[in-house]
Chains A and B, each alone.
Chain A
């Protein structure tokens, strides 16, 4: 049942992506100032938002694990963090390529880039910590604690580096600015692609969670085998 859902989700995401790509390349015009390179934004921004949503979800799941002790929360949190790190890396790399053309530099210590990098570092540490611990309960507990600390730190990092440095383009989505800073067709495309990327992310998380459950099953079967 769940497998069918994952497959259906992946197929739907694929179809939406194909439709979006058609529109991105063949229907939408070039941006006045940036030329063709602006189209990266349709992957750059949704990947960033997906990553952020993932980290926030991981925070809630980690708190849930610490409160209730159910391993499913831990598996879900680990899967969500892993997929979020992947999409955050996509965000940073695509942003870097865009910056090379528009700003002439691969990287700058602007607040959004720096905060994004710090996010990736913190949650890569989370993934490394998980691999370093074999015992499941200890692993779940420690990674949940790190996730909680990490997510709260991300908020502080975000705000503090924002005061520190600003070069990245400001907000353009009309939900934040009230309209007028981006072409409506482009904005709609952004939301559509965000939906596609979110669906892919959810499918990947579900697959990964299933793998965590399998790993737990192997672990418990091994204990039974050893005890016998």
Chain B
């Protein structure tokens, strides 16, 4: 009885920690993905701004 008691207590703590850990990992991955996307979009805007004068010239013709 006691051994089973301890085993389940261990499972209980394991479950609690595992759930929170999985959530923290998913949070970390989502954060990394968002930062990557942010960099990409910033670069995209930078590239757009660099080619803008050329486009304006095109439009005025």
Contact = CB atoms under 8 A, between A and B. Distances in A.
Interface residues of A, number: 34
Contacts of B37: 218
Contacts of A217: 38
Instruction: Say whether chain B's binding surface is mostly helix, strand, loop, or mixed.
Output: helix
A228 B30 contact: no
A204 B2 contact: no
Given A90-B15, A218-B34, A39 B20 contact: no
Nearest to B6: A36
Interface in A86-140: 86-87, 89-90, 93-94, 97-98, 100-101
A87 to B, nearest CB: 8
Q: From DSSP, what is the main secondary structure of chain A's interface residues?
A: helix
Contacts of B23: 83, 86, 204
A41 to B, nearest CB: 10
In the complex, which range does the number of interface residues on chain B fall in?
Answer: 20 to 34
A208 interface: yes
Given A200-B20, A207-B31, A225-B44, A97 B38 contact: no
Interface in B2-49: 2, 4-6, 8-9, 11-13, 15-16, 19-20, 23-24, 27, 30-31, 34-35, 37-38, 41-42, 44-45, 48-49
Interface of B: 1-2, 4-6, 8-9, 11-13, 15-16, 19-20, 23-24, 27, 30-31, 34-35, 37-38, 41-42, 44-45, 48-49, 52
Interface of A: 35-37, 39-40, 43-44, 47, 83, 86-87, 89-90, 93-94, 97-98, 100-101, 200, 204, 207-208, 210-211, 214-215, 217-218, 221-222, 224-225, 228
